[in-house]
Amino acid sequence: MNLKSIVRFPVLFSLLLSSFASVSDAQTTSYTQFWNEVDLVRAINDRWAAELDLSSSFSNTPSGSSILKTNTQRSGVAWVHYFLSARWKFSSFLGYYYNKDVPDIGQFKSPEWRYALQATYFFHKITYTLHTDMRAEVRFIRNEEGVFEDIYRLRQKLKFRLPLNSRVFRQGVVYLLASEEIVFRSKPKETGLKYFDCNLFSIGGGYLFTDDLQLELLYVNVFIPRDKGNEIDNAISLTLSVNNLISKIGKLFTGKPESPVPDE
């Protein structure tokens, strides 16, 4: 399979899946959203790394067209990564998601805890990077009756990155990024694709300010089938990633070099 086929397949599959799911209910609601996230990564040694992700989401509503109309979610996620080899990485996270009460978009207050195990396989190429994430996820989320229920999800993601002004990822490089993710849930829906939870397609780019500081700007299309009608979220996602922030601060006072982050 050549590069063109690899990139084309997720896009075509996303469109096909979205078209098929939309047959179950013609009514579709669309929202425009803004997601922002800060990822703090710390290398522990050559095999292990820790990560803390802090994020929030905003959305327009039927009563307001501004993308920053209302804050819908805030979250904090703590990761631990184990690099088994050049091709395999195993990860786990525990996160808290505060889903706010937003009646305008049909969202009730539903805080949740999430736990997940994830395996990442890297396809090593010379001029681009490609990897796939396989994740098993448990959500403990409060329902409309105020009772916490458990929902199990399986997620499969394919992610592609291509440097535009260099053959390698290093300081000063601009890169193209695209990904496709399909999510399935354990509890079936009453209508539509019973175990299909949502589909996420993203495309955009990033910039490496240094080897330890990068910024990504993406357009994300999220298709969510629901019993009373489908939802499509068109989101602008902004992510800032920082490696070894604490050790860099410590270096200012001690002069000791920080530990390198394992290369993905």
Phi-psi region of 255 (alpha: psi -120 to 50; beta: other; left: phi over 0): left
φ, ψ at 127 (rounded to 5°): -105, 0
Q: Is residue 76 part of a domain?
A: yes
Q: Is residue 113 part of a domain?
A: yes
Q: Is residue 233 part of a domain?
A: yes
More confident residue, 245 or 246: 245
Domain total for the chain? 1
Q: Is residue 170 part of a domain?
A: yes
Q: Give Cα separations from 195 to 40, 127, 151, 174, 241 (angstroms).
A: 33, 37, 11, 38, 33
Q: Is residue 160 part of a domain?
A: yes
Q: Is residue 264 part of a domain?
A: no
Q: Is residue 260 part of a domain?
A: no
Q: What is the pLDDT of residue 188?
A: 75
Q: Is residue 263 part of a domain?
A: no
pLDDT at residue 222 greater than cutoff 50 = yes
CA distance 84 to 98: 33
Residue 249 parent element (H or E): helix 245-254
What value does the mean pLDDT take over residues 216-235?
90
Q: What is the extent of the structural domain holding 147?
A: 3-254
Residues contacting 140, CB < 8 A, separation 6+ = 112, 113, 114, 148, 149, 150
List the CATH number of the domain containing 39: 2.40.160.40
What value does the mean pLDDT take over residues 222-245?
90
Q: What is the pLDDT of residue 260?
A: 53
pTM to 2 decimal places = 0.82
Predicted confidence band of residue 192 (pLDDT cuts 50, 70, 90): low
Residue that has been written with the tokens 């070894």 in this structure: 244
